[in-house]
Chain A
């Protein structure tokens, strides 16, 4: 029941955020909103399949990667969005803090490789690490700017939060503590749902910067 509530709420929130991003795109025709709408659309599609499977068969999909492909595509859209929002100055910016990402993520990747599929984990963790690296770079660069340019930091904070929570989610799923609210997995997933929605206002601020 908790799992169903968790997944259904995530589907609804990402669907609403996707519609919101679609409306923003319809009004402004900005490429960034188009990519954001695609991010939410693919993410919510993956969650829809997952939720329906839990609802109809009382268990999560165990065999193959249907929902995961949707989430995988959503992270590709997120990477493209990050690139679309970055400036040439930001792309050339370097900082030693960017090395924190592999230091934090690689040990967790090793854990996932011992628990799950090698290729899938390598691809997904590689992509999320890249997105986190771009976000750290973008955050540090935006905090050195003045005026409206500084507003881009909120977008990068939202992306970092999403990726940190995704890693927390995957790590807690390796130590499954049952389908109760005592399981930290569900709390992290509820937080992830909120942070996913926060990407909509954060992107709006970044586009306006």
Chain B
């Protein structure tokens, strides 16, 4: 059994102390860092709840429940930030990436506690694969929200579209990993492929749609 709430306290405590030392100006960064880790902690509880509720085995829980729960949990602190503080667009993507990075870091710490740190090659794949996947999902949502949020006509459909894109990306990644064999190498290549698509999409979204 892994006591993830104890790990959370252990990781969060120095961050809170550092935030207090650094002052109000830097609160935002630490807030999103803690929000990402809290989202990861709560995701673990909610994943377990739904897995029990639907009587899901490990593969079904990984490929169907976890992507939905984790991506929604990552989006919630950002929606709070967007709706309450109405930040400038340039602040949105930084917030999303910090949440995603801290989520991935906390998940990796829990993984290391559970499985040990003896196999460096596997941990490298895990770090660059799963870690990068969380960052990419965060980037998809982050850069997407920067584009979508200032455009009122696109806000609802756009947010739902970005969330569903992140969930499906995450689910496809988990699906390929769960299948194993040579197929899982396609999953490891997915984050890089997404960056290429992002560059292509960036050219398309450079100018404003005309009504």
Contacts and interface: CB of A to CB of B under 8 A. Distances in A.
The answer to whether A and B interact is yes
Interface of A: 22, 25-26, 28-31, 33-35, 38, 41-42, 45-46, 48-49, 52-53, 56-57, 61-67, 69-70, 72-74, 76-77, 79-80, 83-84
Q: Dominant SS at the A interface?
A: helix
18 contacts: A25-B209, A29-B210, A30-B210, A33-B209, A38-B161, A41-B161, A42-B165, A45-B165, A45-B168, A56-B176, A63-B54, A63-B64, A67-B168, A69-B168, A70-B167, A74-B161, A77-B157, A80-B153
B139 interface: no
Nearest to A76: B157
A89 B161 CA distance: 29
A33 B67 CA distance: 29
B148 to A, nearest CB: 10
Contacts of A69: 68, 160, 163-164, 167-168
B68 A84 contact: no
A69 B209 CA distance: 25
Interface size class of chain B, counting residues whose CB lies under 8 Å from the partner chain: 35 or more
B160 A76 contact: yes
The 8 closest A-B pairs by CB, nearest first: A64-B64, A31-B209, A76-B157, A73-B164, A73-B160, A69-B164, A73-B161, A34-B209
Interface string B159-190: 01101110111011001100100010000000
Contact of B175 (A28, A30, A52, A63): A52
Given A46-B164, A66-B167, A80 B64 contact: no
B161 A66 contact: no
A46 B154 CA distance: 20
Contacts of B164: 42, 45-46, 69-70, 72-73
Contacts of A57: 59, 179
Contacts of B176: 52, 56
Nearest to A30: B210
B67 A66 contact: yes
Interface of B: 50, 54, 56, 59-61, 63-65, 67-68, 153-154, 156-158, 160-161, 163-165, 167-169, 171-172, 175-176, 179, 183, 204, 207-211
Contacts of A38: 157-158, 161
Contacts of A31: 153, 209-211
Nearest to A46: B168
Contacts of B160: 69, 72-73, 76
Contacts of A74: 161
A188 to B, nearest CB: 24
Contact of A73 (B163, B175, B207): B163
A48 B65 CA distance: 17
A33 B116 CA distance: 50
